[in-house]
Structure 1
Amino acid sequence: MKISRIICVIPARYESTRFPGKPLALICGKPMIQRVWERAKKVKLIDEVIIATDDKRIFDKAVSFGAKAVMTSPECKSGTDRIAQAVRNIKCSIVINLQGDEPLISPDIISNTIKGILKDTQAVVSTPVCLVDETENLSDTNSAKVVFDKNHYALYFSRSIIPNSTRYEKSKAGLYYKHIGLYVYKSDFLKKFVKLKESSLENTEKLEQLRILENGYKIKVVIVKKENSVPVDRPEDIKAVEKIIKMKGERL
């Protein structure tokens, strides 16, 4: 595909049922949203990084550490709606939705996921996944699992264990993959996606990407190495992230 600009948008909202004010939560003295922004800025393929929010506190903090920030409507139902609104007047060919709760995401994961969609003529979105090992809790519903075909196109995402099981089984090692919160959209499709009605599977699983599959579009799965990345879903996750930073250092 012909590439113009690649834009990365980090959606950030203040209100959260489980963790209000999460983007501004301090991790080793630095706001989480700043840590995510700094990871994105390290990716050479990205032309511009934007923080999209509906909260003046987040907007002001983003500007204070040098980020480009835009205010979006509080009526946006999802992060995808927010990023689509943020780039609606920007000419680009690729739009990255980088979740604001992944403060340790590797720049290499972002780069490889971008490359995945650039090389593919059938998929409209690419997203990274990594193998789950026996030390992880497969039944954790905060973590989406995924199965995909031999060409690495997603078949299904679920909060349940897929392939079906009640626990990690060594005989199925190599089949369990978990999803990492990053989406790389072809910009033309992003405009279509936000106009599609919410789907039944999406509402059942509470996973927005299922709307893409239910409407017959392809999602390219990019397998990446398991990293130290810990998504922050609850306040107690902050300690786990800080522990990794203290062990590995700020340059991990």
Structure 2
Amino acid sequence: MTMRFLRGNSQAPKGHAILIARSASDSRVIYSTYCLVPPIPMSLAKYLPPLFAAQIPAEELQDATNLTGMPIPPMLEEAFDLSYLEMLAEHRDDDLCDIGTVNSKDEVSRMQLATTSSHEYGQLYASYFATLGRTPTSAQIREQAPLEEVDAEELLLQTMPDRQKLAELGKLVGTARYAIGGHDTALLQETKRKMERFARLLADKYRGQELVAAATATNEQGAKLAELYLKRAYKLLDEEYADIPGIERAIRELQE
């Protein structure tokens, strides 16, 4: 691959660049991503969701000492016209690099080109950085405390809109009540664990922990309370505040 610098210097990359590619079927259509080289060595495998990590060669993911460029977003997306990107690069002091052409209808190709081009840019930066005489040695890297592993599924859950989190909680309420009715302790505990993950990611105002406690309570009162907590959360989400006092009264009456 030949990366052409439209702005900046390939011999001294800044470590952050706008990468552009033209549609193979229409050169007027521009796709782009933003490439960032992290200043601290890291392994992308610890942070990328499985969908993105699958597009990167395993040896690259395992190399924690490699200053690999990170494409943000991870797929080339249709962009503004070139003049706008040139203006952005100028005002942000970014490198601007032409990485060739891409099949606009092939999402996998757009993802792979973003990844490989970012890796190439990262290698250019690493080569330049090495000339400064400050690149950490492998021994120094190994002496550093390992970064905490991040659950890829947790990252995906964090990006969910609140409405989707509440919808998932609603499904799990049904599963919990089914487990209670069937005296399936293992299923109930697993369902409770999943519910708690969603509840932790919601703002306190939704009272997610109370919802989980009610849904996993073994009495009939728990089922009714869970339904009320879920209804209250949706009212908050939809900003239907006038309906909330009545729901809260019903919750208090069940708890008395």
TM-score (norm 2): 0.25
Which protein is bigger by CA-based radius of gyration? 2
Structure that is richer in strand per residue: 1
Q: Which has the higher helix share?
A: 2
Larger RCO, structure (CA 8 Å, separation 6 or more): 1
Structure-1-length-normalised TM-score = 0.25
